[in-house]
Amino acid sequence: MISEKMKPFMANNSAIRAMFEEGKRMAAVYGRENVYDFSLGNPNVPVPQVTEAILDVVKNEDFMTLHGYMSNAGYEDVRQTIAESLNKRFGTNFSFKNLIMTVGAASGLNIILKSILNPGDEVIVFAPYFVEYNAYVRNYDGNVVVISPDTETFMPKLDEFEAKITAKTKAVIINNPNNPTGVVYDEATIKAMAAILEKKEKEFGTSIVLISDEPYRELAYGGVEVPFVTKYYHNAVVGYSYSKSLSVPGERIGYVVIPDEVDDSAALIGAATIANRVIGCVNAPSLVQKVIKYCIEHEVTVDLETYEKNRNLIYGALTEYGFTCAKPDGAFYLFVKSPVENEKEFCEVAKKHHVLVVPGSSFACPGYVRLAYCVSYEQIERSLPAFKKIAEEYGLCK
Amino acid sequence: MISEKMKPFMANNSAIRAMFEEGKRMAAVYGRENVYDFSLGNPNVPVPQVTEAILDVVKNEDFMTLHGYMSNAGYEDVRQTIAESLNKRFGTNFSFKNLIMTVGAASGLNIILKSILNPGDEVIVFAPYFVEYNAYVRNYDGNVVVISPDTETFMPKLDEFEAKITAKTKAVIINNPNNPTGVVYDEATIKAMAAILEKKEKEFGTSIVLISDEPYRELAYGGVEVPFVTKYYHNAVVGYSYSKSLSVPGERIGYVVIPDEVDDSAALIGAATIANRVIGCVNAPSLVQKVIKYCIEHEVTVDLETYEKNRNLIYGALTEYGFTCAKPDGAFYLFVKSPVENEKEFCEVAKKHHVLVVPGSSFACPGYVRLAYCVSYEQIERSLPAFKKIAEEYGLCK
**pLDDT cut 70: percent of chain B above it:** 99
For B3, how many CA atoms within 13 A lie in the half-sphere containing its CB?
Answer: 26
Q: Which of A1, A54, A63 sits opposite B46 (nearest CB)?
A: A63
Q: In what order do the strands lie in the sheet with B169-175?
A: B99-102, B254-257, B236-241, B209-213, B169-175, B122-126, B143-147
Contact at CB, A264 and B43, closer than 8 angstroms: no
Instruction: Find out whether A189 and A153 touch, Cβ atoms under 8 Å.
Output: no
Instruction: Find which of B16-20, B24-28, B387-391 is predicted with most confidence, using mean pLDDT.
Output: B387-391
* Chain B residues whose beta carbon lies within 8 Å of the beta carbon of residue A40: 69
* Chain A residues whose beta carbon lies within 8 Å of the beta carbon of residue B123: none
Instruction: Find out whether A23 and A356 touch, Cβ atoms under 8 Å.
Output: yes
Nearest Cα residue in chain A from B52: A58
> pLDDT digits over B153-191, tens only?
999 999 999 999 999 999 999 999 999 999 999 999 999
Q: What DSSP string runs through A93-148?
A: ---GGGEEEESHHHHHHHHHHHHHPPTT-EEEEESS--THHHHHHHTTT-EEEEEP
Cross-strand pairs, A330: A220
Q: What is the ipTM for the molecules in this complex?
A: 0.96
CA distances from B348 to B23, B319, B340, B356, B359 (A): 12, 21, 12, 9, 10
Confidence grade of residue A332 (pLDDT, cut at 50, 70, 90):
very high
Local structure of B398: helix, strand or coil: coil
H-helix segments, chain A: 7-30, 48-60, 63-67, 76-90, 104-116, 132-138, 158-164, 187-204, 265-278, 286-297, 304-320, 343-352, 377-393
Best of B58, B60, B67 to disrupt the A interface by mutation (most A CBs within 10 Å)?
A: B67
* Chain A residues whose beta carbon lies within 8 Å of the beta carbon of residue B132: 277-278
Confidence grade of residue B13 (pLDDT, cut at 50, 70, 90):
confident
| CA atoms of B357 and B292, how far apart (whole Å) | 32
| CA atoms of A238 and A234, how far apart (whole Å) | 12
Instruction: Find out whether B140 and B161 touch, Cβ atoms under 8 Å.
Output: no
Q: Which domains does chain B have, with CATH numbers?
A: 7-47+302-393 (3.90.1150.10), 48-297 (3.40.640.10)
> pLDDT digits over B326-367, tens only?
899 999 999 999 999 999 999 999 999 999 999 999 899 999
For A375, how many CA atoms within 13 A lie in the half-sphere containing its CB?
Answer: 24
Contact at CB, A55 and B58, closer than 8 angstroms: yes
| CA atoms of B12 and B23, how far apart (whole Å) | 18
Task: Give pLDDT, residue A14.
Answer: 63
Contact at CB, B1 and A263, closer than 8 angstroms: yes
Q: Look at residues A77, A184, A165, A93 and name the one whose alpha carbon lies nearest to residue A124.
A: A165
Pairing of strands B169-175, B209-213: parallel
* Distance (Å) from the alpha carbon of A392 to chain B's nearest alpha carbon: 35
Q: What DSSP string runs through B152-220?
A: TT----HHHHHHH--TTEEEEEEESSPTTT-----HHHHHHHHHHHHHHHHHHT---EEEEE-TTTT-B
> pLDDT digits over A50-92, tens only?
999 999 999 999 999 999 999 999 999 999 999 999 999 999 9
Q: Which of B47, B69, B263 sits opposite A250 (nearest CB)?
A: B69
* Chain B residues whose beta carbon lies within 8 Å of the beta carbon of residue A280: 103-104, 106-111, 136, 279, 281
Task: Give pLDDT, residue A321.
Answer: 97
Nearest Cα residue in chain B from A109: B280
Mean pLDDT score, A101-119? 98
Q: In what order do the strands lie in the sheet with A143-147?
A: A99-102, A254-257, A236-241, A209-213, A169-175, A122-126, A143-147
* Chain A residues whose beta carbon lies within 8 Å of the beta carbon of residue B247: 63-64, 67-68
* Residue B15 scores a pLDDT above 70: no
Confidence grade of residue A11 (pLDDT, cut at 50, 70, 90):
confident
Instruction: Find out whether B286 and A103 touch, Cβ atoms under 8 Å.
Output: no
* Distance (Å) from the alpha carbon of B300 to chain A's nearest alpha carbon: 16
Q: Which of A57-66, B22-31, B67-76, B104-113 has the lowest mean pLDDT?
A: B22-31
Q: Look at residues A94, A139, A73 and name the one whose alpha carbon lies nearest to residue A272.
A: A73
Contact at CB, A268 and B115, closer than 8 angstroms: no
> Mean pLDDT for chain A?
95
Q: Look at residues A73, A94, A100 and name the one whose alpha carbon lies nearest to residue A260.
A: A94
* Distance (Å) from the alpha carbon of A324 to chain B's nearest alpha carbon: 30
Nearest Cα residue in chain B from A68: B250
CB atoms within 10 A of CB A91: 9
Task: Give pLDDT, residue A16.
Answer: 66
Task: Give pLDDT, residue A15.
Answer: 63
Mean pLDDT score, A131-152? 96
Q: What DSSP string runs through A191-247?
A: HHHHHHHHHHHHHHT---EEEEE-TTTT-B-TT-----GGGT-TTEEEEEESTTTTT
Give the A:B interface size as CB pairs under 8 Å.
Answer: 250
| CA atoms of B327 and B182, how far apart (whole Å) | 8
Local structure of B318: helix, strand or coil: helix
